[in-house]
Amino acid sequence: MSYPYQIKSFEQYQTAYQKSIEQPEEFWEDIAQHFTWQKKWDKVLDWEFNTPKVEWFKGGKLNITENCLDRWVATQPETPAIIWESNNPHEASRNITYKALHQKVCAFAQVLKNNGAKKGDRICIYMPMVPELTIAVLACARIGAVHSVIFAGFSAQSISDRVQDAQCNIVITADGAYRGNKTIPLKSVMDEALVNCPSVEKVIVLTRTQMAVSMLNGRDCWWDEEMKLVEEKNDYSDKAEVMDAEDMLFILYTSGSTGKPKGVVHTCAGYMVWTNYTFVNVFQYEPGQIHFCTADIGWVTGHSYIIYGPLSAGATSLMFEGIPTYPDAGRFWEVVEKHHVNILYTAPTAIRSLMGFGKSPIEGKNLSSLKILGTVGEPINEEAWHWYDENIGKENCPIVDTWWQTETGGILISNLAGVTPSKPTFATLPIPGVQPLLVDESGNELLGNAVSGNLCIKFPWPGMLRTTYGDHERCRQTYFSTYQNLYFTGDGCLRDEDGYYRITGRVDDVLNVSGHRLGTAELENAINMHSGVIESAIVGYPHDIKGQGIYAYVVFGEIHTDEEHTKQNILKTVSKIIGAIAKPDKIQFVSGLPKTRSGKIMRRILRKVAEGETENLGDTSTLLDPSIVAEIIKGRL
């Protein structure tokens, strides 16, 4: 088996790119024909950005799980689909073949049906990184239910907002999750969330930690018992629901510049083609290789490059439950050695954190199976790039710097491993089908090379978002209204003298903390929930490991005990409202915030102070009370 659309040389890349621009419909039709369809499409593309309306392979009928499972069961049933490595190095790993995964997915699909699930229902998944999470996701897709996976680090409040927004009727969770030396009580967090979610009728609970949980009569049931019912009686079918190309596949919530996370919607066919095409080309996957993406399935990277991209390509995908530093900072390298990993795809924040432990965790580990390395989620700095290249790749593995977003479904700008040139800290060139463009503040296109501006995309690609769940107007406003007829990414970008792209970071009120996306408004809302807080302003600042750290300026009523205690209480509040990932790194108490006469917070000043700049704060003449700035500088942390 090989992939007829895998690009093997720079010339082939140039030819493919050219064709994808000049004849996009023919280009994607050639690729789409290599998938399993129950009925071919009537029209390859229909689009209009101002609405926005984007439809790919309209009229086509398919089920993505037939592409991820059935076609491989037919040709390579014994190939491992998933290799799973526990958080605990002493627990046995698991190896699940395509045949076994197919069987489990069909059985769990029946469990969902037995619990009332129907095509189009929204199902919330809040689970640890165990194979059953992948089974749950694929079982939803199998019956045409829309999955909404919520990262297991989110708080009850965050879950509740998301479950209500999507009006989920079923929840799939586990008793608890292991994460490093911690055990997280998933079911009890879920129980707290569901107090405010009347739409939820059934909760299916997997046993992972065997911690005590409360099971609500009539609502809650055990995964194992439900599976036993269908498996023992062999009472399930392997027939997949027939889906329209543009039927919803999943919702994934992500943060933006407003306080409320939005449900990014992806549909069946375009997303499938995109994740597969980018997986096969960016990582240059060869059949038989072991692909290890270290992300959590709670984020889009896990959806696209642990589940859908690799499995739709018949690949072997390694799923790791743990974290890079437990039980020690050699864990990733141990996993690579143990499972002979060929492709390692991780985040700059993980690389920077491991760099801090020096070379000893790598010494004695055999990393010779590695062929290709990848990074994603944030800009990678030069030092981390070289450390990765020298110590992990032994200067022998191409590094792909893959730029994309939850909204884009898959990678948009990246070098193709070993096929197109790499350049440290540059995502380099667009994937065929992607037409990037840089604009200045007023929306004028910046032509030529050696220019910097805001990154937009001017033509649809199959994997792009279709809407934001329940609020199409919000989708239009957020992504398609800033610049006429363009998709606006929210990122700043440089195109260098060679035409290579380097993403420089967000230009909106969104922070990227350890590769996690957090809106400043959302963070401020969470802090303001603390009863003593009068108001707050959040800005990002450069952080050696996290990329960006969270700096909170807080106006507090009356501090009754000491400041440290009050800070702890604020951190606790943020954990409760969003989750531990959102805890500020620094909290500075101030008597007021720098505001203009019209009441607008001057974040530019706060950002500069947080970054350590105290002299050149720019124009401060419009400030209502300039003395505040002096106080803020004095109290800087």
User: Site residues (CB under 6 A) for ligand WT7?
Assistant: 254, 300-301, 376-379, 401-406, 427, 489-491, 503, 505-506, 512, 517
Token pair 């667009």 is found at 430
Nearer to ligand WT7 by Cβ, of 176 and 463: the residue is 463
* DSSP assignment string, 240-289: PPPEETTSEEEEEEE--SSSS-EEEEEEHHHHHHHHHHHHHHHS---TT-
CB of 399 to ligand WT7, least distance (A): 11
Nearer to ligand WT7 by Cβ, of 371 and 502: the residue is 502
Considering only CA atoms, which of 469, 449, 66, 547 is closest in space to residue 262?
469
> Strand, coil or helix: what is 620?
coil
Nearer to ligand WT7 by Cβ, of 171 and 300: the residue is 300
Distance from C-alpha of 441 to C-alpha of 334, rounded to nearest angstrom = 48
CB of 303 to ligand WT7, least distance (A): 10
| Residues 432, 20 contacting (CB under 8 angstroms) | yes
Nearer to ligand WT7 by Cβ, of 439 and 593: the residue is 439
First-to-last CA distance in the chain? 58
Token pair 């108001």 is found at 535
Nearer to ligand WT7 by Cβ, of 331 and 506: the residue is 506
CB of 293 to ligand WT7, least distance (A): 11
CB of 548 to ligand WT7, least distance (A): 10
* DSSP assignment string, 93-151: PEEEEHHHHHHHHHHHHHHHHHTT--TT-EEEEE--SSHHHHHHHHHHHHHTPEEEE--
CB of 505 to ligand WT7, least distance (A): 6
> Strand, coil or helix: what is 470?
coil
For 333, the enclosing helix (H) or strand (E) is: helix 331-339
Considering only CA atoms, which of 247, 318, 315, 241 is closest in space to residue 275?
315
CB of 354 to ligand WT7, least distance (A): 18
| Residues 570, 576 contacting (CB under 8 angstroms) | no
> Strand, coil or helix: what is 316?
strand
Distance from C-alpha of 620 to C-alpha of 319, rounded to nearest angstrom = 51
CB of 174 to ligand WT7, least distance (A): 24
CB of 538 to ligand WT7, least distance (A): 17
CB of 506 to ligand WT7, least distance (A): 5
CB of 443 to ligand WT7, least distance (A): 19
Distance from C-alpha of 366 to C-alpha of 360, rounded to nearest angstrom = 13
SS3 content of the chain, % helix, strand, coil (to 5): 30, 25, 40
Contacts of 411 (CB under 8 A, 6+ apart): 278, 282, 376, 402, 403, 404, 431
3-class DSSP string for 544-596: CCCEEEEEEEEEECCCCCCHHHHHHHHHHHHHHHCEHHHCCCEEEEECCCCEE
Distance from C-alpha of 161 to C-alpha of 540, rounded to nearest angstrom = 25
